[in-house]
Amino acid sequence: MKTPPSAKKAPKLTRSLAVALGITLVTVGMGSAQAATAPDPVKNPRTQAIEQPGKVPGGFASWKELLATQEKLVKAADRITAAAKEQGGSGYAGVIAAPENHELRVYWKGGTPKRIAGLVGELRRDVPISLLPAQYSARELEREMARLIRRSSDVITSIAAKPDGSGLAVTGADLNATRSGITDSAVPVTVEAGVRPMLTTRWNDSPPWWGGGAWNSPGGGCSTGFAVTYGGVNRVLSAGHCGAIGNTATDPTGEVIGGITQDDNTRDVLLIQAASQGYVFNNNVGSTSPEFANPVVGTSSSYVGLWVCTSGAYSGTNCSIQVQQVGVTINVGYLITGTVRAEQSAHTNAVGQGDSGGSVEVVNPANTAQVFAAGVNTAIDGGTAVTCTGYVTSGRTCAWRMYYSPWSNATDAFPGIAIVLG
């Protein structure tokens, strides 16, 4: 069993601040790691269902029922987006998974190709699907996003295409400056001010390493994400801003996890070469006890409307977090692409400093003691700061709005990467 955080000296937490373009770049600094003075703990393999608190949206009797509907919508969306890609993407605008409405919404510009229409008809036998018109295609919006970033990245903190194809959603620290920077946009743009993306264990893990545990590097204190294989070798997935190739990752007791062998900062993913196992640490939401582990049974795509949980070594497990935007480029002093914006529905903590690289998971409706890997924590919106939860509740910043790097960022950065199943 892991050594409880109360049984060892808490790491010193500090903020490393770099102010650039009005955006604060934040990492959790760690004091000198405590030397390991005892043998590795014996892992407790006990699993437990992840119970999501609060009222279940959409009139569902339980979160399990909602997640079962969500799973059907995601599988249908995966087939539609894959078919759209094979068609060359022309006309495809986006998808919204709306489990609360028992519906998948697919947006398309112009006439729907016969193959797509046929696939939608087939999928409707099992999933309610609305095929809706879009003003712009995803490709058109992505081109305009890229142009605005090149022209006005100094006043944009995030930018994303709207999944209904109606235009772009832009955020900035200063409303007037951001509006001035996008006045020549070729598509409609909504502007939201005050959004400030900030880069964001369990505490004594041992080989084989699990997701959701604490690790340190010269970049500061972060969390592990998921066990993966890459190039036929076991590794641990985490956030790219947490370290660099050649750094050595250790746990808070000083035990070496492994060296960082791959790093892609533009997608905010990295790989640590280490013996790893397909489990993620979790705990009851709102409490660090009891602590348990959940096997990873696959991966999940991310769509607007998806409900996820997070597992970070500092904040612990938090749930009732819903995806609001996908394909988001955020500016944290440099650009990170392809992220997902999500919000805790009750505006309590989603993630905080030190949770970077930690697991973003979807609970398996067929067995709520299992999870699917959705991505790893990247950043928080400092403008939505709330009281921290978990193992370290002071001396750091937490927020109800977060950004994560989805599984697709890992597969784009590291072709051939595969999740390790528990």
Ranges of residues in the chain whose predicted pLDDT is under 70 = 1-44, 200-206, 219
pLDDT number for residue 46: 82
pLDDT number for residue 8: 27
pLDDT tens per residue across span 300-327: 999 999 999 999 999 999 999 999 999 9
For the chain, the helix, strand and coil percentages under 3-state DSSP, each to the nearest 5 = 20, 40, 40
Using CB atoms within 10 Å of the CB of residue 61, give its burial: 0 to 12 exposed, 13 to 18 middle, 19+ buried.
exposed
List phi, psi (to 5°) of 242. Answer: -80, -15
> Which is nearest to 27 in space by CA: 244, 309, 257?
244
CA distance 338 to 329: 6
Q: What's the pTM value of the predicted model, to 2 decimals?
A: 0.89
CA distance 324 to 258: 35
CA distance 207 to 236: 11
